[in-house]
Amino acid sequence: MKGFTFTVVFIMLITCFACRNVCCTENKTDAQQTDKTAPEFFKDGMSYAQKGMTEKAKDAFDKAIKLDPELSGKAHYMLGMAYMQKNMLKNAIAEYEKAAQFNPEIIPLHINLANAYLAIGRFDKVITEYETMAEIDPKAAWPHYNLANLYAQKKMYRDAIREYEQAVSINPSGLKDVYFQLGLACQKMKMFDKAVAEYEKAISKNPKHYKAHYNTGIIYYTLKKVDKAISSYKKALKIKPDYAEAFANLGLAYHAKEEYILAANAFNDALAIKPDLGTALFGLSLVSRDQGEYKKAMEHAQKAKETGLRVSDKFIKKLEDKLKEEETVK
């Protein structure tokens, strides 16, 4: 019995010492972890973030912030970027917003916020971010330019014009295609004189700007200044000879002058480049109708409709009536 008791006690002592050693090891590990500095935790967070391990990154950044609150802005910003890369947009926005509380004047932060809000369709928030950027750097033209582009995409052309003009007032020559975009917004608002003036500025900056010539032609045609429209379309085609839409519009301009052969040639040139161009097919229908070739006119009109172009029922009905008249005469 004594031997048995001694053995049990001995085993219990060994077990206690073993447990003590384990506990000491665990405590040492905890101590080692708490010995890490805030920059070391921040570095860990960066490493995890780059690997897309957002939860571990968040944990490391939280520890860094706890030890050094001044790292808060950077930590939330980096975590926001990690969430953004994983398309976790709401999480990214939450982190960027926290970062902005600590570093409200860092423009890249607001750019990322604007992109995240744009991705989830919060156009109002995108506007706010670009307005904030403009306030941070009043001498920067690009926030106004980007904001103008957003307004234009939303067909808010009056607001777009305001922002384009603000951008130009800050930087008259450093923004790509700003005069063309301003002209386009003015054209949409039927501010035709101003639109032409802006297109002319775009052309002066880039003499090969065929779209500016083309849009100028559209305006002149709308204003019934057909010769000027023809001149503008020809300038566009000289720069871009395969511009099917310019050929089609040139054909319409010739048709307005009743120069039917030139009109038909222009429409056929357009179709040689783009066989399913509805405006060119309809243009040939107009020429055929005006030359009394109603069967051809109907064929071209039907082909134009097949491309998705809206051809009025009234136009088709008149062609049908003419064809019936021809049959009656026969």
What DSSP string describes 235-283? HHHHH-TT-HHHHHHHHHHHHHTT-HHHHHHHHHHHHHH-TT-HHHHHH
Q: Is 87 a domain residue?
A: yes
Q: Which amino acid is at 236?
A: A
Helix (H, G, I), strand (E, B) or coil at 96: helix
Q: How many domains is the chain built from?
A: 1
Q: Is 81 a domain residue?
A: yes
User: What's the pLDDT at 34?
Assistant: 59
| Cβ 159 vs Cβ 151: under 8 Å | yes
* Contacts made by residues 315-324, CB under 8 angstroms, sequence distance 24+: 319/289, 319/294, 322/289, 322/294, 323/294, 323/295, 323/298
Q: Is 62 a domain residue?
A: yes
* pTM: predicted TM-score of the whole model, two decimal places: 0.80
Q: Is 249 a domain residue?
A: no
CA atoms within 13 A on the CB side of 137: 16
Q: Is 55 a domain residue?
A: yes
User: What's the pLDDT at 330?
Assistant: 64
Q: Is 73 a domain residue?
A: yes
Helix (H, G, I), strand (E, B) or coil at 223: coil
Taking only Cα atoms into account, the Rg of the chain, rounded to an integer number of angstroms, comes to 35
Q: Is 110 a domain residue?
A: yes
DSSP state of 36: S
Q: Is 188 a domain residue?
A: no
**Which residues in the chain show pLDDT less than 50?**
1-32
**Residue 78 sits in which domain range?**
39-138
Looking up tokens 């029922």 gives 313
- CATH number of domain containing 124: 1.25.40.10
> Of 329, 265, 266, which Cα lies nearest the Cα of 292?
329
| Cβ 178 vs Cβ 168: under 8 Å | yes
> Of 80, 120, 117, which Cα lies nearest the Cα of 102?
80
First to last CA, the chain: 135
CA atoms within 13 A on the CB side of 57: 20
